[in-house]
Amino acid sequence: MVCERGFFAAPCFLPLILLASPFFFSGALAPQVGSLSAQGADSPFFSDVMERCCGAFKADFFATKARSFQISSDMAHAVHPNYAERHDPQHKPTLHGGVVLKHNANQRYATNGASAATVRRFAEIAGVPLQEFAVKADGACGTTIGPLTSAGTGIRTVDVGPPQLSMHSCREMMATSDIQSAVKLFTAAFAHFGPVMMALEAGDNVGSPDPFWAAPGNGWGNKTA
- What's this model's pTM, rounded to 2 decimal places? 0.77
Which sequence spans correspond to the domains of the chain?
Answer: 2-218
The answer, yes or no, to whether residue 173 has pLDDT greater than 60, is: yes
Please report the pLDDT score of residue 20 as a whole number.
Answer: 33
Percent of the chain beyond pLDDT 90? 19
Render 131-160 in DSSP notation, one character per residue.
EEEE--TTS-----SHHHHHHHH--EEEEE
Please report the pLDDT score of residue 163 as a whole number.
Answer: 93
| pLDDT tens, residue by residue, 65-107 | 888 888 888 888 898 888 888 878 888 899 999 999 999 887 8
Residue 219 backbone phi and psi in degrees, to 5: 135, 130
Please report the pLDDT score of residue 140 as a whole number.
Answer: 73
3-class SS at 2? Answer: strand
Distance CA 165, CA 178 (A): 12
Please choose, from the candidates 47, 48, 59, the residue with its C-alpha nearest in 3D space to the C-alpha of residue 150.
Answer: 47
The answer, yes or no, to whether residue 223 has pLDDT greater than 70, is: no
Query: Which has more pLDDT, 20 or 77?
Result: 77
Q: Mean pLDDT score of the chain, rounded to an integer?
A: 75
Report the CATH number of the 2-218 domain.
Answer: 3.40.630.10
Please report the pLDDT score of residue 21 as a whole number.
Answer: 36
| pLDDT tens, residue by residue, 128-139 | 999 998 887 777
- Residue pair 213/154 in contact by the 8 Å Cβ criterion: no
